[in-house]
Chains A and B, each alone.
Chain A
């Protein structure tokens, strides 16, 4: 019996969400008195032994380069075999794009109960109860997994990375056959230099109050000063002022950054559903009656075109 954490990587680097998953998996293992291990499919340039500081003793690696690319069907077979050969009973993923493709397949393959979007450590005092976000961030459900093998995917930014002493992890190569993929990838388009929205600590978001796409410079400048990702409300994406992948809310992406700055967004219930798990919310809106102020921690009633450039200047001052 052990806890096995899936390590997600791209372009040779381990993703930040995986450090959270490793910290989480190590804590679950400690709680149950089990060893914590990690599973890496493919190869990375990062130093694997350094992952020991997140509390895992062993990295199980299937070092086949064809696995650097995600095909959920192919990877699931490899993961299922790794789970069997290591005797893992709890498998942890990040609830990001990769985890959403893999966790359900792996759970079905192992006949394991699945909780996606976990936000806290399991309560194991009676059963194995995992708290997850439901109703698009408006509530939580405590879900009891009743099967012997369990699969959990952890919401990004929900569990703090815990880096302890630098005890290096050992790497163990697993010899598992990899099937040919039935998926032929023809193009990969990555937005260069931008912080991915779901992994960002700070998000600066604009709404219809900004009047048009030509005014997004002030949003981008602020985001740049804060090393933040940018987001937008639904009508902004629907009017093609901003790309669809920036749309947050009930029908867009749900995020939980440390800081969410909403500029010219009214705070409709469907918008809040995507952002209300943010740790701190700042609202800048010229209408003092805007509903968003009720969900905010800090607010400025004022004209975005006046306030936002000043805010960017002040941020630059303290960042210097």
Chain B
């Protein structure tokens, strides 16, 4: 059983979001980088749990990123996983990134590919679907539970207003959301072990991106809060009804 876990680096959740170069680039100065929470808390941890149950499971991590992504990949390896692959490219378009990972997946013959449900910076929610299509295998998006029985996966996924449980024979691509696993803190042994785990860099395949980011913008600032005294709740209702017209 070989599992490929897709890892992305994202700004820490408390980072100040600002842009530079005429609002065409994210201002990275002073930003702390973390493993995208969905990749870390859910997909990576679930893969590690599967390996704990069955030590013959092999876990590879993959990221599309330049050399400055390596500290984040090492952090992921400190949680678990046998080795990591870094595809040496910047990740500015979903199709580009998905195609690169699909290429690695084809070469490695993986039974299972995990992504997070989305990254918290680009919020694409697209990479898993693109990989699955390029490999022509089933895709379960927004999984909230994942179990494996031989080569059949039992997956629960979010649907509008509820959930659905399905059984699917591997190979399979799954995007993991909350519920699949619980967050873990790496321990000292894991951190030491991660230093010597193989992390190989490979050059990207020739693929053209299909989108480019023209610019970024920040949402307009709020006008400021209108405070209503706690003993005059009727006034709030009046404002919501007559001014905001939302009720």
Which residues of A are interface residues toward B (Cβ below 8 A)?
Answer: 8, 10, 15, 70-73, 76, 95-98, 100-109, 111-117, 127, 129, 132-147, 182-191, 194, 196, 198-199, 201-202, 226, 237, 244-245, 247, 250-252, 254, 258-259, 269-270, 273, 276-277, 279-280, 282-283, 293-303, 306-307, 310-311, 314-315, 317-319
Give B169's nearest chain A residue, CB to CB: A182
- CB < 8 Å: which of B120, B157, B209 contacts A250? B120
B204 within 8 A of A: no
Q: Are A301 and B210 in contact (CB under 8 A)?
A: no
Q: Tell me, rounded to whole Å, the shortest Cβ–Cβ distance linking A7 to chain B.
A: 14
Does B225 contact A105, Cβ atoms closer than 8 Å? no
Question: Is residue B214 contacting chain A, with contact meaning CB distance below 8 A?
Answer: yes
Task: Write the residues of chain B forming the contact surface with A, with a CB cutoff of 8 angstroms.
Answer: 11, 13-14, 17, 19, 37-38, 41, 93-95, 98, 120-130, 132-134, 136-142, 144, 154, 157-169, 178-179, 209-219, 222-223, 225-230, 233-234, 236-237, 239-241, 244, 246-247
- Chain B residues with Cβ below 8 Å from A73 are 132-133, 136-139
Q: Closest approach, in angstroms, between the C-beta of A195 and any C-beta of chain B?
A: 8
Tell whether, in the assembled complex, residue B210 and residue A298 are in contact, meaning their CB atoms are under 8 Å apart. Answer: no
Q: Is the CB of A186 within 8 A of B132?
A: no
A116 and B225 form a contact (CB under 8 A): no
The reply to whether A299 and B237 contact each other, CB–CB distance below 8 Å, is no
Tell me whether B129 and A105 are in contact (CB under 8 A): yes
Q: Residue among A116, A226, A259, A306 with the most chain B CB within 10 A? A: A116
Chain B residues with CB below 8 A from A318, complex form: 237, 241, 247
In whole Å, how far is A69's beta carbon from the nearest beta carbon of chain B?
9
Q: Which residues of A contact B162 (CB under 8 A)?
A: 188-191
Cα separation A301 to B141 with both chains bound (whole Å): 41
The reply to whether B219 and A277 form a contact with Cβ atoms under 8 Å apart is yes
Please, which residues of chain A bring their CB within 8 A of the CB of B142? 97, 100-101
Please tell me if the beta carbons of A142 and B178 are within 8 angstroms of each other in the complex: no
Known: A97-B142, A202-B246. A136 touches B120 (CB 8 A): yes
Which chain A residue shows the least CB distance to B136? A73
Known: A105-B139, A142-B214, A244-B144. 14 other contacts (CB 8 A): A70-B159, A73-B137, A111-B95, A139-B219, A142-B217, A187-B164, A188-B165, A191-B162, A245-B163, A250-B13, A259-B244, A297-B226, A314-B233, A314-B237
